[in-house]
Amino acid sequence: MAGARERSGRSFAVDVRAIGVCVKPGERELADIVRELEKWLLDRAIEVLPDPDAGRWTRATGMLRGDLAQKVDLMVVLGGDGTLLAVARAIGSRNVPILGVNLGTLGFLAETARENLFPSLEGVLAGRFEVEERMRFDVAVTRDGEDLGRYIALNDAVVSNTALSRMVHLETRADGSEVTTYHADGLIVATPTGSTAYSLSAGGPLLLPTVETILLTPISPHTLTQRPLVLPGHCVIEIRVKDARGGEVHLTVDGQVGRELAEGDLVTVRRSPHPAHLLTPPNRNRFQVMRAKLRWGER
């Protein structure tokens, strides 16, 4: 471990000509900061391309986030971690760096404070920021060999029973080898980035976000010996629903999208070849971030 400071990224050295601006939907109080950001960028001869919500307050017409990703050199996301997760999913396989500006509460992903937006952008344009690659998952659902859906996850994929007081039985394999059958409310398959999200509240460990590992965290397991498990990042995880009585077993990806599952359905989770790219300040102290966000040492 490289001490408290991470040097896992590469310098962001790009001639920035266009920046995408994405905001948390429905937040009218963002109008002033969006207008101020647009003026700041236009004064520097940088084109501003907004998503539909930010486009309500800009000269340019808003466009879908997936289309934005094909036209910009980086994305500025104004919101919280949920907004950043949605933008990362819309970007898909494109290598577009994201600068997350935290207007929410915790902000593990959107690390830039609102008051630091413009100094941070100055640092980005000067090449002082780094691009940190974050592992993502490709998630697939199949039923009797038929493809039912594919998703990309930055935080986690969760298989759970949403019925009141009902367990789900999940046969789990890693690289074809049986791990166990979890008897629990559900199972979280988390990236290192996702270790600070749902997995943490379910008793999972904290992982530095740039390590290449996969975290399996059962939700309220019926057996106390079924504990969180950390696996190598190259493992392919297969989860088969063994009991879906009540018909309320669901797959949820990053807490935002997903589908209902039936008995026998197979959820396959593997490392995506397309990591997310987050812009971070140089010499960022990861443990200092954890102390601040999780309030370590406070009484």
Please give the positions annotated as active site.
81
3-state secondary structure at position 69: coil
C-alpha torsion angle, residues 251, 253, 256, 262 (rounded to 10): -10
Q: What's the distance, Cα to Cα, between the start and end of the chain in Å?
A: 29
Sheet of 177-184, strand order:
146-153, 137-143, 266-271, 237-243, 168-174, 177-184
3-state secondary structure at position 117: helix
> 147 forms bridges with which residues in the sheet?
142
Whether the Cβ atoms of residue 89 and residue 36 lie closer than 8 Å to each other: no
User: In terms of DSSP H, where are the helices of 64-223?
Assistant: 65-68, 81-91, 117-125, 198-201
In this structure, which amino acid lies at residue 36? E
3-state secondary structure at position 238: strand
Q: How far apart are CA 161 and CA 245, in angstroms?
A: 9
